[in-house]
Amino acid sequence: MKLSIHLQASPLEKTENPVQLKTIQGLAASFKISPTKISVSLYFQEPQTIAESRWRFGRLMTQIKALFKLESVEITKGRSVSQKLYEALALDLKSKGETKIVSGKNIDQLEKLAGYEAGFRQWVDEDAQERTSLKIAQEILAYADQNDQVDAFVLDDNQIKDLGMNLLMAVGGASKKSPPRLIVATYGSPDPVEAPPLMLVGKGITFDSGGINVKAYENFVSMMKNDMGGAALAWHLFKALAESDYPQPLVLVIPACENPIGEEAMKPGSVVKSHRGISVRIDHTDAEGRLILADALSWASSLYQPKEIFTFATLTTAALIGYGPFATPVHFANPQLQKALTQSSEEVGEDLHFFPYRIWHQEANKDHEADLKNTASLSSHASRGAGSRNAAHFLIHFADAPLTHFDIFASTWDWSNQSPSGTSQGATGSPFRSLYHGLWHYAQLID
C-alpha cells in the first residue's frame, strides 16, 4: 500500500468526498482509500508548536501503520504551509526509512540529515553485545582512514591506566567484552594556541548493568544498551558538522566501556584518584557516567585547550523523572548558545530546557572522605531531586574550559512509546536536529 500525505494550510471542508476522521485533537485528517493507495490530507489547527505537530503526526502514523502495511510514503505540502513544519515531518519519515520520496525544497539537505539521525538511532538500538567500545573505536578509525578532513586515534586500557585515568579504569576495567577505550577524532586542525577547538564529549557506556549496585527493575535493565547514546550523538553530530564544512575546528572525545558486574568490578565505597588528582568516592556504582566523563574531560581539555566543551550523556534518570519523557536539560549554556539552541529547537520541534550554574549544586558533590563523591545531594529536606543538575556540576570540576552539558537520558530513548519523532519504541534521534542547526547558528554568532 502506498501512502500519500498532503499538508494543508486550511480546513478540510474543500476536499472532495473525504472520509473525515478527527482522531487526534488539534489535527484533522481526511482519507481517500483505493486498493493500492491511501491519500491523506492533514490540517494542523492553529496555534501549535512544531513539537506538538510532530507529536500529533507521530500518533496518526502509528494508527495508520496499525491498519495498513505501507510500502512507501510520500509527503507534500500546500503553498502556505510552513517549510519548517514540512521539513520536520518529512525528516521524521525519512530518518526511519519510511519514505523514499520527499518532494519539495532542501531535499539534499534532508536526505543527509536523515542519514546522520538514522545512524545515531541505529547505534543506540544495536545489541550491546555488538556495539562495544571496540566496535565504536573501529568504526571511527575506519571513517578517519577514508576521510582527509578527519583524523582519529584510540587509547587502549594500558595507555588509559598509564595516563592515570583511574576513574575510567574503575568503571570498565573488569569488562573483557567492552574494555575501556578513549576515542579521539579531530577536524579542522585544532591547535591549543592557533585554533582552539570546540570539543564534543560523549558518554559511551555500551551496557550499564548498574555494577554491584545492580539496577533493580528488570524491564529497565533491558534498555541499558542505550547508555552509549551520548557517544552516538557526539559522533554523528561531529560527522555531520565536519561533512558540512563547519567553520570551527572540532575535537570529538568518547570514553567508552561497559559498566559490568563481577568480582573485579569497582566496589561501592572505594576512593579513586582521578586523572585530575581529585579523589572521588564511589558511593554508588550506577553513577558511573560522570566518572568516565570526568577523566576524559580532564585529559582531553588539558591537551587541546578547547574554546568550549559540550558533553552529551544519558547521565541521570532524574532527567526523565524531573522533566518528562522528551526533555533535554541543558546545563550552563552561555547566552549566545542558549539563544541559538532555543531558536533551533523551536524550529525543529525538540524540547530543550536551560539551567544555570549554582554554587550549591557544585558543593553538593563534596564528600566527607574524598574530595568528591559520585552521588551528589543537597542538604536536609532539599536532598532529594536535582540529580541532573548535581551531576552536571560534578563535571565542571574536571574541565579546563567552559562546559555546556546535555543530559539526554529522557530525550534519546522513547520511554513513553509516544515520542514526538513518531518512534514507538527505542532510540528517538533527539536532540540531534537542535544541536546540528544550533551549532551552525552559534558558529555565526561567535565568529
Residue type, 25: Q
Instruction: Provide the 3-class DSSP secondary structure of residue 173.
Output: coil
Would you list the DSSP string of 18-87?
-EEEEEETTEEEEEEE-SSEEEEEEEEPSS--HHHHHHHHHHHHHHHHHH---SEEEEEE-TTS-HHHHH
The smaller minimum CB distance to Zn ion, of residues 93 and 293, is found at: 293
Active site residue 433: no
> How far is Cα 429 from Cα 424, in angstroms, rounded to an integer?
12
The smaller minimum CB distance to Zn ion, of residues 117 and 288, is found at: 288
Q: What is the dihedral of CA 408, 410, 414, 418, to 10 degrees?
A: -130
The smaller minimum CB distance to Zn ion, of residues 211 and 349, is found at: 211
Minimum distance, C-beta of residue 208 to Zn ion, in the bound complex (Å): 4
Residue 350 interacting with Zn ion (CB under 5 A): no
> How far is Cα 393 from Cα 384, in angstroms, rounded to an integer?
16
Active site residue 215: yes
The smaller minimum CB distance to Zn ion, of residues 209 and 338, is found at: 209
Q: Which stretch binds Zn ion (CB under 5 A): 102-110, 115-123, 279-287, 413-421?
A: 279-287
Of 77, 215, 276, 281, which one is the catalytic site residue?
215
Count of residues interacting with Zn ion (CB under 5 A): 3
The smaller minimum CB distance to Zn ion, of residues 196 and 230, is found at: 230
The smaller minimum CB distance to Zn ion, of residues 213 and 279, is found at: 213
Minimum distance, C-beta of residue 386 to Zn ion, in the bound complex (Å): 18
> How far is Cα 357 from Cα 177, in angstroms, rounded to an integer?
38
Residue 286 interacting with Zn ion (CB under 5 A): yes
**Contact with Zn ion (CB under 5 A) among 208, 308, 347, 351:** 208
Q: Which stretch binds Zn ion (CB under 5 A): 103-111, 115-123, 278-286, 389-397?
A: 278-286
Could you tell me the end-to-end alpha-carbon distance of the chain, in angstroms, rounded to an integer?
50
The smaller minimum CB distance to Zn ion, of residues 258 and 288, is found at: 288
Of 181, 276, 290, 373, which one is the catalytic site residue?
290
Minimum distance, C-beta of residue 287 to Zn ion, in the bound complex (Å): 6
Residue 118 zone, left/alpha/beta (φ > 0; ψ -120 to 50; rest) = alpha
Short-list 289, 296, 256, 284, CA closest to 175: 256
Minimum distance, C-beta of residue 161 to Zn ion, in the bound complex (Å): 22
Minimum distance, C-beta of residue 213 to Zn ion, in the bound complex (Å): 9
Task: Count the Cβ atoms, other than its own, within 10 Å of residue 404.
Answer: 19
Task: Count the Cβ atoms, other than its own, within 10 Å of residue 379.
Answer: 9
Residue nearest to Zn ion (CB): 286
Residue 407 interacting with Zn ion (CB under 5 A): no
Residues in region 125-154 near Zn ion by CB under 5 A = none
Q: Which stretch binds Zn ion (CB under 5 A): 80-88, 228-236, 286-294, 420-428?
A: 286-294
Pairing type for strands 2-8 and 327-331 reads: unpaired
> Where are the extended beta strands (E) located within 293-377?
308-313, 327-331, 351-355, 372-373
Q: Which stretch binds Zn ion (CB under 5 A): 73-81, 111-119, 170-178, 205-213?
A: 205-213
Short-list 188, 297, 241, 301, CA closest to 438: 241
Grid coordinates representing 23 are 482522531
Minimum distance, C-beta of residue 216 to Zn ion, in the bound complex (Å): 12
Residues in region 287-316 near Zn ion by CB under 5 A = 288
Residue ranges that bind Zn ion, judged by CB under 5 A: 208, 286, 288
Q: Which residues are catalytic?
A: 215, 290
